Structure 1
């Protein structure tokens, strides 16, 4: 860059000097840490060798100097991301936990997206629950501010006898598992409309097996009606449900029928996620 001034230029002009290079921290990718990048390449390379690989092979395939590869491999083994067995390196427990967590997050995302699509298709809140290890788990709910989900005002696990999801799940269990659940969580009134005793509930659940649809009117929450249908995927008991205000109870059966049609289109994506 030329400088301003009044002094005449010398006879022997000095060529303009090149600008100093920008500081290293402003160059593209300057914030990347090389050792982390190299460690990641090693992990990725180990992952493709199902039967393990020696350090020399890993160094060659990643383009790393052997001393560098040895240093990083020792560090990764120490931290549990790799394990060494008879001179071969394999993925360690820490790396497998990362992979498992990532897969679980992906499954949860699939559930969330699927429920949201069903909610948009039927225009009411949609619920998804599973029965696992003797307990009911509400896995996902999709609703909107204009059509909110029912508030869990009474412990969902303890009130399976009162809500449609719980009744639908109990109906899918064998008699011994169903009675075991009711021994641990006895039938009790939640609202004035809740089923009164275990015997009445068990008779109702027998009828549910024939229709596959559970309809519950204000048994869990006053002012709300719900319908649930079983989700038969593998050995797990699962259920999907919808809810409506009681003054719209006439919409309940058409809504659940529409949901069933939508589920046939997207059941595969949710089926992959039922093990959450």
Structure 2
């Protein structure tokens, strides 16, 4: 154990937070000496913490020597907001899982990629083995194809130009023309399916959702021998997707 001399790690963290609070109180920035006075920190300690926080992106030094909050805090805030939004819709996903005995998935199209935001599964509703990332399997999953079907031509062409139509199972659609034809003729609209195209023995159904302007998809995966329930699944997914979209679109 230490001898008690010098600041502890907790004290250093507390000082760093106090310093960031002081920086945040000055929209146009404040110099190190002023921040030291406002926080009651020694000037040397203030300089050291400012250099460390600036190096990690939590604050930014202006040309005039003042300090303002950095982009790293904006990223943290956005991540926290995203988690808060997801917490609103997890009960709807859990209810969907329990009613259909199927794992529920939520994906979004962000920065040109299809990304999984949430999976709600359980012992009686195991998730499919994600042996290929969703970013590279949009053509083979109901969630991915649902997103692709909702994109405009330019965005869809951009995605397909960057992602080869890999042959994941014998049922995977690997021809661009055939994929586009299937996307335009989905009999369960707005629901989209994949029939063992991503993983043998599994079929999935997905419908579109939105988080503000961000497009996404809500879906479930089931064993292939439960395909007879497909209309029931579609009819359960659609109202749940509406509730998820409303929950994600509420401001925090």
TM-score by length of 2: 0.74
Q: How do residues 174-213 of structure 1 correspond to structure 2 at under 5 angstroms?
A: 174-187=152-165, 189-195=167-173, 197-208=175-186, 211-213=189-191
Match of 1:238 in 2: 216
Q: Is the 8 A contact 2:208 2:217 kept in 1?
A: yes
CA 1:261/1:73 → structure 2, altered by over 3 Å: closer, same or farther?
same
Q: Is the 8 A contact 1:165 1:228 kept in 2?
A: yes
Which range moved further: 213-222 or 177-186?
A: 177-186
Match of 2:68 in 1: 90
Match of 2:44 in 1: 71
CA 1:272/1:254 → structure 2, altered by over 3 Å: closer, same or farther?
same
CA 1:118/1:49 → structure 2, altered by over 3 Å: closer, same or farther?
same
Deviations 1:227-263, CA, capped at 9 Å, x for gaps: 1111234554321111122222233333343333234
Q: Is the 8 A contact 1:125 1:148 kept in 2?
A: yes
Deviations 1:65-84, CA, capped at 9 Å, x for gaps: xxx44333322332214636
* Unmatched tracts of structure 2, length 5 or more: none
CA 1:38/1:120 → structure 2, altered by over 3 Å: closer, same or farther?
closer
Number of matched pairs: 238
Q: How do residues 77-116 of structure 1 correspond to structure 2 at under 5 angstroms?
A: 77-79=50-52, 80=54, 81=59, 83=61, 86=64, 88-91=66-69, 93=70, 96-101=71-76, 103-108=78-83, 110-111=85-86, 113-114=87-88, 116=90
Structure whose alpha-carbon radius of gyration is higher: 1
CA 1:220/1:47 → structure 2, altered by over 3 Å: closer, same or farther?
same
TM-score by length of 1: 0.69
The answer as to 2:231 corresponding to 1:229 is: no
* Unmatched tracts of structure 1, length 5 or more: 1-23
